[in-house]
């Protein structure tokens, strides 16, 4: 049986926005936030008017943080492979007035899947790219190579056993890579570790980063 969907306002670090998600996800988001360290990086490094991409947006907590940060003059592209979740996200964003967000109900990767590079002609300079796809992260990155070389956005990737090749690929296209540490929550299990990559120095509030070596 599917969990009931919950709709309500969520406040995080001074940002407030409507959120729709299954009860367990909503409760955790409302009490602790979702992937707070990624959200802090977005708030500290993304500016109003920027364009960001959220690959694996799920129910869109991070998508909403991006939208609040870029504001009405910016743009967020949310990519979600699960058609039901994508439909819920689209409806909830529209009803909440997030007109700067475009939801793409597609699986990202390399052809025949949606490559991020296929969007290059329709999007301005991208400042931030988040990837959380539970496995094919490297495929998503290969499909975004042109974007990485053109715009040099900050990249955050949820890590799994393919961390070594991800480090190597990002360094090949000119990035320095770092592995996020101390990604703990107040209650419950920690969020999975994340790799942060950038071509310039970045500041993650309340966060230690160590230089990531391929494993």
pLDDT tens by residue, 22-79: 888 888 777 766 677 788 889 989 999 999 999 999 989 999 999 999 999 999 999 9
Number of domains in the chain: 1
**Is the peptide bond preceding residue 8 cis, with omega within 30 degrees of 0?**
no
Task: Look at residue 148 and tell me if it is in a domain.
Answer: yes
Question: 61-70 vs 83-95: helix axis angle to the nearest 10?
Answer: 40
Task: Look at residue 177 and tell me if it is in a domain.
Answer: yes
Distance CA 183, CA 178 (A): 14
Task: Look at residue 5 and tell me if it is in a domain.
Answer: no
Q: Which of 1, 36, 38 is nearest to 22 (CA)?
A: 1
Task: Look at residue 138 and tell me if it is in a domain.
Answer: yes
Arithmetic mean of pLDDT, 93-118: 89
Task: Look at residue 15 and tell me if it is in a domain.
Answer: no
Tokens matching residue 43? 């708030």
Tell me the C-alpha to C-alpha distance, in Å, between residue 161 and each of 78, 134, 156, 214. Answer: 25, 10, 16, 11
Distance CA 108, CA 81 (A): 7
Q: What is the domain-level CATH number for residue 97?
A: 3.40.50.150
What's the pLDDT at 215?
Answer: 37
Domain that holds residue 73: 34-211
Q: Which of 161, 128, 163 is nearest to 144 (CA)?
A: 128
Task: Look at residue 51 and tell me if it is in a domain.
Answer: yes
Distance CA 8, CA 26 (A): 9
What global pTM score does this model have?
Answer: 0.84
Task: Look at residue 187 and tell me if it is in a domain.
Answer: yes
Asked whether residue 130 carries a pLDDT value surpassing 80, the answer given is yes
Q: Which of 125, 130, 127, 68 is nearest to 101 (CA)?
A: 68
What percent of the chain clears pLDDT 70, i.e. is strictly above it? 82
Task: Look at residue 11 and tell me if it is in a domain.
Answer: no
More confident residue, 203 or 17: 17
Asked whether residue 201 carries a pLDDT value surpassing 80, the answer given is no
Tell me 213's DSSP state.
P
What's the pLDDT at 4?
Answer: 82
């Amino acid at each position: 049986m599917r969990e009931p969907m919950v709709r309500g306002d969520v406040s995080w670090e001074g940002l407030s926005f409507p959120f729709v998600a299954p009860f367990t996800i909503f409760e955790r988001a409302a009490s602790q936030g979702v992937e707070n360290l990624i959200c802090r990086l977005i708030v500290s490094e993304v500016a109003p008017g920027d364009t960001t991409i959220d690959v694996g947006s799920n129910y869109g907590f991070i998508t909403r943080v991006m939208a609040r940060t870029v504001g009405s003059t910016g743009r967020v592209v949310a990519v979600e492979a699960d058609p039901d979740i994508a439909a819920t996200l689209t409806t909830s964003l529209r009803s909440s007035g997030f007109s700067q967000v475009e939801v793409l109900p597609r699986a990202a990767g390399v052809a025949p899947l949606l490559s991020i590079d296929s969007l290059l002609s329709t999007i301005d300079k991208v400042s931030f790219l988040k990837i959380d796809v539970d496995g094919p992260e490297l495929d998503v990155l290969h499909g975004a190579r042109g974007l990485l070389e053109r715009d040099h956005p900050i990249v955050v990737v949820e890590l799994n056993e393919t961390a070594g090749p991800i480090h190597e690929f990002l360094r090949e296209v000119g990035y320095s890579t770092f592995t996020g540490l101390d990604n703990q929550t107040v209650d419950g299990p920690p969020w999975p570790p994340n790799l942060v990559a950038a071509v310039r120095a970045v500041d993650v509030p309340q966060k230690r980063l160590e230089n990531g070596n391929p494993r």
